[in-house]
Homo-oligomer: A and B are copies of this chain.
Amino acid sequence: MERWWINGQPGRSIDVTDRGLTYGDGLFETIAIRDGRPRFLAHHLDRLSEGCDRLRMARLDRVRLAAEIAAAAEFRHGVLKLVLTRGPGPRGYGLPAASTPTLAWGTVASEPWASGPIRIRWCETMVTANPATAGLKTLGRLDQVLARAEWSQPEVSEGLMTSTEGRLIGGTASNVFLVTGDRLLTPALGRAGIAGVMRRVVLEAARKAGILVCVSDLPPSAVAGASEIFLTNALTGIRPVHALGAHAWSTGPITRLLQARLVAAGVTECAG
């Protein structure tokens, strides 16, 4: 990020007692800026609002926040990262009697990159399963950090993770979709994982297109049995997986159909 604002003021300084730092007590969003506008902003704010409710934080004023974010997107294409914490507080896990949330965001201009087919791998580090925070983009992401540190080969774009309960969850920074028969499958995230904004966009596009969609617990072995597999992320849209260990896939018909639907919805990366 090139420029940062903290609570509406230009700056990049966070107090050392901020509970976002001391306890991971907060949330974040990573939003694509396309043609000068934050893409799927309502979806991002939905997830942020749900996170505020579940973490017992006051909801932000959506209308005001949307206007501020739109004003911050002062370039054609790029990324806006938003961090919301419970704010500074005294030592101790207990919620402060009065706390002022910290809202930080950073922006950087960058061209969208083409989402071509990728090679992925399995990670040994597992995603923590806990219904208290499942689905949310909370600040504590050490599982993903340790998983991403498992490989350094540039030809491997992502790593698939299972939960500590043995279920397929997704990539370190992406959600996963499989096609089996005529069904589009993606893991249920009620116990682990992050409910990605692009995952929601794909699910909505698939249902509109009349594709049979199944959101459920999936074993890792479901991957090997899939006829198509792709990953989703707010910044990259749909990325078809062409290789995972000895398994190989080509970009199949359902993936192509969804890519076309997403391009029509503004996810132009999918045309790559």
The residue that A139 contacts in the complex, of B55, B94, B104, B140, with Cβ under 8 A, is B140
B139 A21 Cβ-Cβ under 8 A: yes
The residue that A142 contacts in the complex, of B17, B24, B91, B129, with Cβ under 8 A, is B24
Chain B residues near A14: list those with CB within 8 A.
13-16, 18, 21
Q: Which of A113-121, A145-153, A222-230, A255-263 contacts B (4 or more CB under 8 A)?
A: A145-153
Provide the bound-state CA to CA distance between A82 and B37, in Å: 41
Interface size on A, residues (CB 8 A): 56
Chain B residues near A24: list those with CB within 8 A.
24, 139-142
Q: Does A208 contact B (CB under 8 A)?
A: no
B149 A142 Cβ-Cβ under 8 A: no
Chain B residues near A149: list those with CB within 8 A.
56, 94-95
Q: Does A83 contact B (CB under 8 A)?
A: yes
Q: Does A12 contact B (CB under 8 A)?
A: yes
**Which residues of chain A from 66 to 122 have a CB within 8 Å of any chain B CB?**
79, 81, 83, 85, 91-95, 104, 106
Q: Does A126 contact B (CB under 8 A)?
A: yes
Provide the bound-state CA to CA distance between A145 and B172, in Å: 25
Provide the bound-state CA to CA distance between A79 and B142, in Å: 27
Chain B residues near A146: list those with CB within 8 A.
55-56, 132-133
Q: Does A264 contact B (CB under 8 A)?
A: no
Q: Does A268 contact B (CB under 8 A)?
A: no
Given A15-B14, A94-B148, A22 and B132 contact (CB-CB distance below 8 Å):
no
The residue that A17 contacts in the complex, of B1, B91, B143, with Cβ under 8 A, is B1
A173 B20 Cβ-Cβ under 8 A: no
Q: Does A125 contact B (CB under 8 A)?
A: yes
* Distance to closest chain B CB from A229 (angstroms): 21
The residue that A83 contacts in the complex, of B20, B21, B138, with Cβ under 8 A, is B21
Q: Does A30 contact B (CB under 8 A)?
A: yes
Pairs A-B, 7 closest by C-beta atoms: A140-B140, A24-B140, A93-B148, A24-B24, A13-B13, A23-B141, A128-B128
Measuring CB to CB, which residues of chain A are less than 8 angstroms from any residue of chain B? Answer: 1, 4, 6, 12-25, 28, 30, 55-56, 79, 81, 83, 85, 91-95, 104, 106, 125-126, 128-133, 138-149, 164-165, 172-173
**CB-defined A-B contacts under 8 Å, sample of 24:** A1-B91, A13-B13, A19-B145, A21-B83, A21-B85, A22-B139, A23-B140, A24-B140, A25-B142, A55-B146, A56-B146, A81-B91, A95-B145, A126-B130, A129-B129, A129-B164, A131-B164, A133-B142, A133-B143, A138-B140, A140-B140, A140-B141, A140-B142, A164-B164
